[in-house]
Structure 1
Amino acid sequence: MEDRSPYRCEDIAELKKNVPHEAEVSAQELERAARRGCRLCSVLLAAVEPYVQGNYDAGTIVRLSMLFRPDLTIRWEGGDKELTGPIEVFTAEDTGCIPIRKARVVCDSTSSEAAFRRIIEWCRTCLDTHRILCNSMSDVHTLPHRVLEIGSAAGDKIWLRETKGEPAAYACLSHTWGGFQPLKTTNETLEEHKRNIPWESIPKTFQDAVITTRRLNLQYIWIDSLCIIQDDENDWLIESALMADIYRNAVITLSAAASKGPSDGLFRETQPEHRGRELVHPLLKSDDHSPRFFTRRPIDHYRKDHPLLDRGWVLQERLLSPRVLHFGTYELIWECMQGKDCECGHMPKVQWLSEKPNFHPGVLSSLPFLHTANAWRKVVEDFCALALTFERDAFPALSGAAKIVKRSLESKGMQTRYVAGMWECWFIEDCLWDVAILGERGGVRPAVWRAPTWSWASVLRNGTTSVTYKGAYHLAMAQREGEEWLDDKALTLHARLESLHCELEGPDEMGPILSAHVVLTGPLLQAKLDGNDLDVPAKKYGSLSEFGRDYDFAEEGPGHIAQGSTLWCLMLVSLRSPLDKPLRECLWCLVLRQVGVEPDGQPVYERVGLLRYRWGADERWPVESWFKPELVLKDAVVKIV
């Protein structure tokens, strides 16, 4: 709860605590306390002086806050000059006695010598001390099939080298094409690139990546548009299948996080207001032993400031790479398997950047298999909220991450078959994906087929719409220690997987597919589309229903479903949650529409949504009793395409 107390110098000690806290003081009181020798007030007065400008009347208010940030920030109100937004106060050394945190002054530019000293420090710390999850330089892996050999100095020849799998250290570049065609290798340019790639033909982002790689004493870098033959479908399928190994075996991945395209470059000048201004004030006494204090506008680390991180391919590049160096809009950001950091020092508090260790092969293999299931579903959710230049890339862009999950399942002796983004070992639970909708707009079917309708990949992001696994997380919450159910009767699988069929497009079993279908058996209910809900004649009780459509049925086209149309509900799974008071039971059903008939008369269906029934359950009323038995097809065989 917010603690707002009148300002007294002795109360500021409360700001040392990592709890929400805010205090107010007039500039007049602050100036008086500083003159009495209060060390803290002298620092705060020096921080606001450029805005107060000697106007120390009682109506000029300084607000000190730790409400939204772990560091001390100041807002000032009053006088002729407004301070819009907070300023951060920090010190370059630990003070120990006042609530001002240690932080770093941000470099003038992410290309500066000071910035590269920080990069080297991060690299050395990781390589020398992170022995548990991060590989070291002694763990040299083989080069990818093709790399750019760049030499070690400016002016050295750059050429595309076809390797023989020899061991060597290399970097990768993570970048966005941004709607432009970057310099790329094609069948026409392959031999030319193997001889020489002129410096002036290389776009700015690639040039900066080469400069950085050389400064890191690496002579090889892998860049997708140059190391994969872009107009050779077979080469693309082969190389994309190896993406997991390419990024996982690199020493470091350079992320053009602030760039919108190949011509934007890696490096950015840091705005002066974000760097750090050293405080100087007559009442702020200093000597050789006094700490130095600084102010700046806080760097907010918003995702929108890093356009690269909105791209689908980048998710697995981040997760698989042992080390990622982001060249951000305001500063450098570092990630490895055992931590993250940034120049200003506040990156560890950022939540939108998913934690790399959570998807480390060693971590997944050491945890119960349900943790692996939830880790995969979290990756799917994150991925579906991102953008792809080419819709067909959905499975290749997650192929590397899927291989990590497969390795984890193999270590547990489990079934590892993977089809269209779904795992056979928990297929029924994997069907509980839903489309998160703000308003009434659903997802969008891809313009060109890329996945069967039972796969999350059959729906595209549509503005605020994305895929979520809320249903599967409900199941996870009813478990103890990831394995045991709190109630042996908590979970009931009503549907059964009979067969799963898939035709792959290429050699990668986790890659793009040409066709797929599944056959399930379970109780089937007839329904009619009624507004935004379903009318299910078999339902006996007034249980609360939530119908999530996979896309907008009203739009004209092959997916159009008119009001009153017949749909079908396949009962998948029910959960009795002992954590809810009163006891609550939920039932999830796949919502289907018939789209054809097999030669033997078997109906063929498509998935169009997910239905959830909720009931404040009386234990005498199991799920089966919620419906009129004569209207339930108990063991229906359902083929879904």
Structure 2
Amino acid sequence: MAASDNSPYQFAKLCKRCACLQLRSTTLDDIQLRNPSVGEWSQEQEVDLDWNVTNYLSIALHPVGDKCDACEFLRRVVKWWRVYDESVRALEIKRVPVSLHYVFTLGEADQYGLKALRIRLRPDGKEFHIDCPVTAATDLDMGTPLRLQPHLSHINEESILWMKSKLESCVSHNHFNPDKTFIPDRLLDVRENRLSLVLTKDLQPQDAESHRYAALTYCWGPEPHASKQLKTTRDNISQHQRQIPEFSLPQVIKDAVSVTRALSVPFLWVDALCILQDDVSDWENQCAVMERIYGNAYAAVAATFSVNCEQGFLKNTERILVPFRTHFDSTCALAIYSPPYLINDVNEVSDSPWARRGWTFQERISSTRILMFSKGNIYVKSKYFNESTGGHRVTYEEYYIMLDRVTIDSGSKAAIYQEWSEIIAQIHPRRHQLTRKTDFLPSIAGIASLFSKRLNDDYAAGLWKNNMHQSLCWAAGEVDKPSHQDLLQRLRAPSPYIAPSWSWASRREDFSFLLYRPDLSAGC
């Protein structure tokens, strides 16, 4: 994106062909959009932008260094349209002419407003179109002759109904519930637009639904962002029990509160506010039950693309901004979005900052149900169910396995040991980032506690005493061919100390387990 010299917006860099996306008040005068008179009602007017290519494959072709954000945006939209639309996938598409049009629709007070950028495609003599929503970039941009709608958000009537429906469907399917009697020691009460910290031991004993809670999983981010995180400490816990001013929250927690309220869930768990951040003992105790906290939540809420706690996750950001210049020569911005139903890309979650954070690994696989908010879509996942707001079933299993609680609860010891190995095999030290390397084992302490109870076995640096013969069957991954000197350096005890050299947890490189060895598991 490129910002103009005097503009607060990050406008898209446009090539000569895409400059037609920019609008001026004089352009609207030329279009001569008018309010309908009696007998002339038309729900929409389509304006040809004189943007045409004879083959969609050439949309983003530009000389080296002459990048166009709009062309790249259009290329992505058309690519996902081909994947999404079954009738298109069946066509032998060689040349697809493409044209662009702005669509104005009749709104309140019988006035036309800019609604969408329409991409018209004509493959093999057929005709299709894709409507990309157009809105105001900010609330300040709504008062223009374009009569733009508010910017898109993941929280709207349609998405709320969808999330509630999918979550209730998961609950009603009688999937394994970890522990209906469990509730975290502290929760945020989000009812009645007043936020406060509650000690759950003081809550009235009622049915489980009245104590439903969501659990936020997100990235704090590096400094200086992490230090701006509002935290509960021994000094301010009494104040937080009275009230937590919502203006003092970082944006990611504000958004989580909004989601929790929209889902009609009374409580929310957030690590920064529900763990005493200056009490080592409390921190260790809560880490040990982290699996239960996320596993028993009505839903985990994942802010997948928020790089830090100051970046929210509810605004749809899969968009480009283009300028609109008024008669008074002031510049406003309109936002053009990818259609949400076209964005079913597992990579936008698997490659997100959230997926690369070490602590979120345990939070993710421990969750019974999880809502993942990406730049342009919402994904809901459970052990048995994956779907997005576009209606597509999405397969994540190779990326995002979740605890097999049925096996852990009622399987044989051999099966439970195998489940542990399969879970740990998903850890990638190079990928899963931790602010402190010594947090590696604490970041999976909750899962280890669950397995320890089921196995009645001693846990040692990621391995199990009664299954040591299998636990030691791991190998360091070979991502390169180090020199002899580099190899010797890698074999030295790393600093800071994390685990003994015989444990996979001691490695900075990726590792793998010899998962399926019947000769080793026989008789176990």
Asked whether the two chains share a fold, i.e. TM above 0.5, the reply is yes
In structure 2, relative to structure 1, the CA distance for the partners of 1:211 and 1:75 (3 Å cut) is: farther
Alignment of 1:90-101 (within 5 A): none
Aligned-partner Cα distance in 1 for 2:459–2:162: 42
Aligned-partner Cα distance in 1 for 2:406–2:367: 14
Residue 381 (structure 1) shift: 2.3
| Residue 182 of structure 2 corresponds to residue 120 of structure 1 | no
Cross-structure match for 1:498? none
Cross-structure match for 2:45? none
Q: 1:396 aligns with which of 416, 439, 442?
A: 442
| Residue 199 of structure 2 corresponds to residue 157 of structure 1 | no
| Residue 339 of structure 2 corresponds to residue 275 of structure 1 | yes
Give the number of the structure whose residues are more often helix, by fraction: 2
Deviations, residues 187-236 of structure 1 (Å, cap 9, x unaligned)? 33323222221111101100011111111112211100111111211111
Answer whether contact 2:386 2:395 (CA < 8 A) is retained: no
In structure 2, relative to structure 1, the CA distance for the partners of 1:214 and 1:243 (3 Å cut) is: same
Deviations, residues 518-538 of structure 1 (Å, cap 9, x unaligned)? xxxxxxxxxxxxxxxxxxxxx
In structure 2, relative to structure 1, the CA distance for the partners of 1:172 and 1:350 (3 Å cut) is: closer
| Residue 365 of structure 2 corresponds to residue 325 of structure 1 | no
Report the TM-score when normalising by structure 1: 0.51
Answer whether contact 1:134 1:337 (CA < 8 A) is retained: no
Residue 82 (structure 1) shift: 11
Higher alpha-carbon deviation: 223-232 or 366-375: 366-375
Deviations, residues 117-141 of structure 1 (Å, cap 9, x unaligned)? 110111121122x113257xxx853
Cross-structure match for 1:41? none
Query: SS of the counterpart of 1:148?
Result: strand
| Residue 296 of structure 2 corresponds to residue 252 of structure 1 | no
Cross-structure match for 1:360? 404
Query: SS of the counterpart of 1:164?
Result: helix
In structure 2, relative to structure 1, the CA distance for the partners of 1:459 and 1:165 (3 Å cut) is: farther
Query: SS of the counterpart of 1:225?
Result: helix
Q: How many residues align?
A: 370
Aligned-residue CA RMSD (Å): 3.8
Cross-structure match for 2:464? 423
Deviations, residues 134-183 of structure 1 (Å, cap 9, x unaligned)? 57xxx85343111112223xxx3212222317452211111111113211
**Structure 2: gaps of 5 or more residues:** 1-50, 57-77, 101-118, 122-127, 134-150, 206-210, 320-335
In structure 2, relative to structure 1, the CA distance for the partners of 1:118 and 1:79 (3 Å cut) is: closer
Give the number of the structure whose residues are more often strand, by fraction: 1
Which is greater in Rg? 1
Cross-structure match for 1:448? 496
Deviations, residues 368-404 of structure 1 (Å, cap 9, x unaligned)? 4333223212222222342222222222211222233
Aligned-partner Cα distance in 2 for 1:298–1:234: 42
Which amino acid counterpart does residue 221 of structure 2 have in structure 1? G
| Residue 216 of structure 2 corresponds to residue 173 of structure 1 | yes
In structure 2, relative to structure 1, the CA distance for the partners of 1:337 and 1:145 (3 Å cut) is: same
Report the TM-score when normalising by structure 2: 0.62
**Structure 1: gaps of 5 or more residues:** 1-48, 55-62, 90-99, 277-294, 411-415, 486-641
Answer whether contact 1:176 1:261 (CA < 8 A) is retained: yes
Cross-structure match for 2:257? 210
Q: 1:316 aligns with which of 351, 362, 366?
A: 362
Aligned-partner Cα distance in 2 for 1:296–1:76: 19
Which amino acid counterpart does residue 230 of structure 2 have in structure 1? L
In structure 2, relative to structure 1, the CA distance for the partners of 1:454 and 1:70 (3 Å cut) is: farther
| Residue 517 of structure 2 corresponds to residue 475 of structure 1 | yes
Between 1 and 2, higher relative CO (CA 8 Å, sep ≥ 6) is seen in: 2
Answer whether contact 2:232 2:277 (CA < 8 A) is retained: yes
Which amino acid counterpart does residue 435 of structure 1 have in structure 2? A
In structure 2, relative to structure 1, the CA distance for the partners of 1:355 and 1:69 (3 Å cut) is: farther
Deviations, residues 582-638 of structure 1 (Å, cap 9, x unaligned)? xxxxxxxxxxxxxxxxxxxxxxxxxxxxxxxxxxxxxxxxxxxxxxxxxxxxxxxxx
In structure 2, relative to structure 1, the CA distance for the partners of 1:140 and 1:401 (3 Å cut) is: closer
Aligned-partner Cα distance in 2 for 1:447–1:204: 35
